[in-house]
Chains A and B, each alone.
Chain A
Amino acid sequence: MSLANIIRRRLLLLILVVFGVTLVTFAISHMIPGDPARMMAGERASDEIVEKMRENLGLNKPVAVQYAIYVGQIARGDFGTSIRTQRPVISDIKKFFPATIELALAAMLFAIIVGVPLGVISAVSKDRLIDHLSRSISVVGISTPAFWLGLLMILVFYGQLGILPGSGRIDGVIGPPTTITGFYTIDAALTGNWPAFKSAVQHLILPGLTLGFLHLGVVTRQIRSAMLEVMSEDYVRTARASGLSRRQIIYGHALRNALIPSITMIGLAFGDLLYGAVLTETVFAWPGMGAYVVQSISSLDFPAIMAFTVVASTAYVLINLFVDLIYMVLDPQIREVG
Chain B
Amino acid sequence: MAPDANPHQATVADGTPDPETEAAGGGLVDWAYVLHQLRSSPLTIVGLSLITLVLFTMAAAPWIAPYDPNRIDLTSRLAPPSLKHWMGTDQIGRDLFSRIIWGSRVSVSIGFAIVGISMLIGTVTGAFSGLVGGRTDSIIMRFMDVLLSFPSFVMAMALAAALGPDLINAMLAIAVVRIPFYVRLARGQALSLRERPYVKAAVTFGATRMQIVRRHVVPNAMAPIIVQSTLDIGSAILTAAALSFIGLGAQPPTAEWGAMVSAGRDYLLDQWWYATFPGLAILLTAVGFNLLGDGLRDILDPKLRAR
Contacts and interface: CB of A to CB of B under 8 A. Distances in A.
Contact of A143 (B159, B161, B238): B238
A50 interface: no
Contact of A139 (B264, B268, B276, B291): B291
Contact of B265 (A16, A29, A151): A151
Nearest to A15: B146
Interface stretch (A66-74, A95-103, A188-196, A304-312): A304-312
A143 B286 CA distance: 5
Interface in B263-299: 264-265, 268-269, 272, 275-276, 279, 282-283, 286-287, 289-291, 294
A298 interface: yes
Nearest to B241: A145
B153 A275 contact: yes
A145 B261 contact: yes
Contacts of B265: 151, 283
A293 B157 contact: yes
Given A28-B162, A294-B246, A152 B151 contact: no
A151 B158 contact: no
B307 interface: yes
Interface stretch (A17-25, A76-84, A173-181, A326-334): A17-25
B149 A317 contact: yes
Interface in A1-55: 13, 16-17, 20-21, 24-25, 28-29, 31-33
Contacts of B68: none
A25 B158 contact: yes
A263 interface: no
Given A145-B238, A147-B261, A297-B247, A309 B294 contact: no
Contact of A135 (B43, B159, B245, B276): B43
Given A274-B154, A279-B245, A309-B154, A140 B283 contact: yes
B283 A313 contact: no
Interface in A152-178: 152, 154-155, 158-159
A275 B279 contact: no
Interface in A310-328: 312-313, 316-317, 320
A147 B242 contact: yes
B248 interface: yes
Contact of B149 (A17, A29, A136, A298): A17
A136 B151 CA distance: 27
Contact of A282 (B43, B159, B246, B286): B246
Given A279-B246, A294-B246, A145 B155 contact: no
Contact of B287 (A31, A143, A279, A282): A143
Nearest to A33: B164
Contacts of B161: 28, 297, 300, 302, 305
Contact of B155 (A32, A155, A278, A309): A309
A214 B142 CA distance: 31
Interface residues of B, number: 51
A232 interface: yes
A155 B245 CA distance: 18
Nearest to A294: B246
A143 B290 contact: yes
A144 interface: yes
B42 interface: yes
A38 B57 CA distance: 48
Contacts of B291: 139
B41 interface: yes
B165 to A, nearest CB: 8
A225 to B, nearest CB: 10
A95 B299 CA distance: 50
Interface string B24-46: 00000000000000001111000
Contact of A142 (B158, B262, B290): B290
* 7 shortest interchain CB distances as A-B pairs: A148-B279, A143-B286, A275-B153, A28-B162, A159-B269, A316-B151, A143-B287
29 contacts: A13-B146, A13-B149, A16-B145, A17-B149, A20-B150, A24-B158, A32-B162, A139-B291, A140-B283, A142-B290, A143-B289, A145-B258, A147-B242, A147-B245, A148-B275, A148-B276, A148-B282, A152-B276, A272-B151, A275-B154, A279-B245, A282-B245, A294-B246, A297-B248, A298-B247, A305-B161, A313-B151, A313-B154, A316-B150
Interface of A: 13, 16-17, 20-21, 24-25, 28-29, 31-33, 127, 132, 135-136, 139-140, 142-149, 151-152, 154-155, 158-159, 232, 271-272, 274-275, 278-279, 282-283, 293-294, 297-298, 300, 302, 305-306, 308-309, 312-313, 316-317, 320
